[in-house]
Structure 1
Amino acid sequence: MCPECDQSVAISGCIGEWFKSHPQCNHCHSNLDLQISAKCPNQYCDFMGSYPNVIEHMNNCEYDLTEYGISECESIALSDATSVMTASIFGAESIVMSRAPSHKTPAKAAQDQEMSRCILGCGKLIPRTQMEDHVENYCMERMMSCTRARLGCTWMDEAKNYNKHFESCPYEKLAPLLTKLNDRVTDYQTKIKKLEANLSSYDTRCAEESEIRANLMKEVQELTTQLERKQRIPTSTSLTSEHSGPIITHSPANNVVEVMHLKPEIEMLEDSLKFMAAHKFNWNIHHRDIYMNKQQISDVFQYKGHLWQLRFVPATNAGLYLCIKSNVSKSHAVGVRCKLFALHTSHHIDKHIILNVTHRFEKKDRCGDKLINLTMNQLLDPSKGFLHADGCLHLGAYISDVEDYESDKCCIM
């Protein structure tokens, strides 16, 4: 449309040739300037620009599948039946240009289905869109590893040689066994991580118990100081209460009574210290391990000049035997007292002790005596405190006292 007279200008045939012969408007004879915005005629191409830019673009358009170059006139010869354009001076509305059916084909669809030889050299014709999948998964010339690589097979070769390798692969023949072993390794790794977590919690608990031990030692020292102070009190009855310190009586007999009252507390603290020291000789046993005849053995430790070993052994009634071994000399009869406790109960000595076991070693039975038989009913009894929420039996045992006896005497504790 001419901007001077607002009349439409009809264009037919080649645009370049038409403007050469019609440089002016047919109605007002004003000069026309070719400022036309057009769209690339190739199907699926969205490029738009001025006419000269469209011509330049079409020479390199990726949607053009013609094998010959595109000239200004040959590639944009518009037929009267398929093309109508509107031009204006110094600017125009966009014009849709259709290419001749004899020049082009549906570009994108044809490009997707264009057949190419496999880039790895297997010789097959593959659509361009499927080439990547073919190279990675189907081409017989691709490099591949054995399907049993997870089990340790290091074979790697062209895919066409795989069947030959498969027939003689030792990992394929041992696959069921190796898979089972790998599963067991994974299971053990999981158990190791769980044990490491338990060890960390035990370290924390040991630190807490060390602090408790230090506090108990401090209390023992304070009680010992009080005891020594009371033993140094003068027997003179002329002392006043101001000079008698914490003792409120002036009678030596009364002082002795007060000292005797302190002895049970001191004994309880000493027993608690033994219990704290014995925590390194304890066990965590899952109750299912008892049925599998597994035994838990402590480390060998020394106590009062003898080597000792405590252990739990599965009993015939599906329970446990608490057994003890020692290197006691054949010429000695030794009385020993053991205490059995639940690890996660209170630290007070009168609460965590479950059983006191007294035994006498004779020279004939020093190499492994059964101290006591714990039945499954006892072990799983909630009131005993052995069974923990994690399904394990948290047991501990330690030797609280050892005493030498004559061979003709009985050990009574």
Structure 2
Amino acid sequence: MDVDALVAAVRNGDVRLHELEQHADADDAAAARRRLLAEETGAELETVGAYAFDAAVAEPNIENMFGAAQVPMGIVGPIAVDGGAVDGPAHLPLATTEGALLASVNRGCAAIRAAEGATARVLKNAMTRAPVFRVSDVAEASETAAWVREHVDRLAEVAESTTSHGELRGVTPYVVGDSVFFRFAYDTKDAMGMNMATIATEAACETIEAETPAELVALSGNLCSDKKPAAINSIEGRGRTVAADALIPREVVESYFGTTPEAIAEANTRKNLVGSAKAGALGFNAHVANTVAAAFLATGQDIAQVVEGSNAITTAETRDDGLYASLTIASLEVGTVGGGTKLPTQREALDIVGVRGGGDPPGSNADALAEIITTAALAGELSLLGALASNHLASAHEELGR
């Protein structure tokens, strides 16, 4: 069917809106939806429909597509980072609608460059899925947990049979009365790995049901914990746990931020540590979510996982006549293959970073992306803390017309 025929079919009730791709190519289906929406709502959808890729490419990523959201994208860097997976300067595209964000991150990047760079490392890599089982009582719960502890190798064999890349790192039992949770943790290489972990865990759950009294209630029991604030992710991590730090000489702090190491350290303690503790926050940082969300949008990550990505601690202290600053993100969930990384805009953004596709060795590209994002977020922390310590935050936004 052409667009006119598709529109008529929906109006007549012969075809439902979500079925259009069964009768036409993806671009015509999206055009028909735009026309129907425009007629029903009175909205002008010309810009929404002016996307630059073949809509068929996006079919694995969305349903009922009628256009694309275009978010301005800017660049930060060079980011000078000595990483475990990246060595040397890199640029990072950020997509955002928040004015002054890129200017702030770039100021922090410039200060880090003047300080001869930052260091970054991926400390842990473990994507998790935690199913919940039903048992009759705590005796059966104990029996089931004990069986799983003794047979992790067998569960690994079953789980890994579903994937050519994932590796089971471990399984941790948690018992709450007649509920038994098992937190499976996987190395998913260059994939963010949520789907990989889910499919592998489902296979392992069938073995647990066959060998123990437990009955599976839900493949995800929220102890994973995906896309929700959770203390377990702060402690155990999820995805990649990444740290970056830098030692900024006093003269660089004064030149780039217009303040002193002592003032930034005090602002960090009173704001990020004491203030966050008083608020009962899980993240003890200034605005890590800003950089993480913008990097996720640009590079095709699951944007909802910024919840875990903001689970970070910023430290700052005076040291050696300068400022030592660090950022540790407990659960940064990123990948360079699969999901939104296949979309054309996001592929180009990953090319800028130099990490598109699978790495050699496997996992190295996603590690590099995690180290670069964390270092950029550290730059953003330094810049905001400097603006607060020098009382320049409001004037900076005013100057940039935000």
- TM-score band w.r.t. shorter chain: under 0.3
Higher percent of residues as helix: 2
Structure showing greater relative contact order (alpha-carbon pairs closer than 8 Å, 6 or more residues apart)? 2
TM-score normalized by the length of structure 2: 0.22
Larger Rg: 1
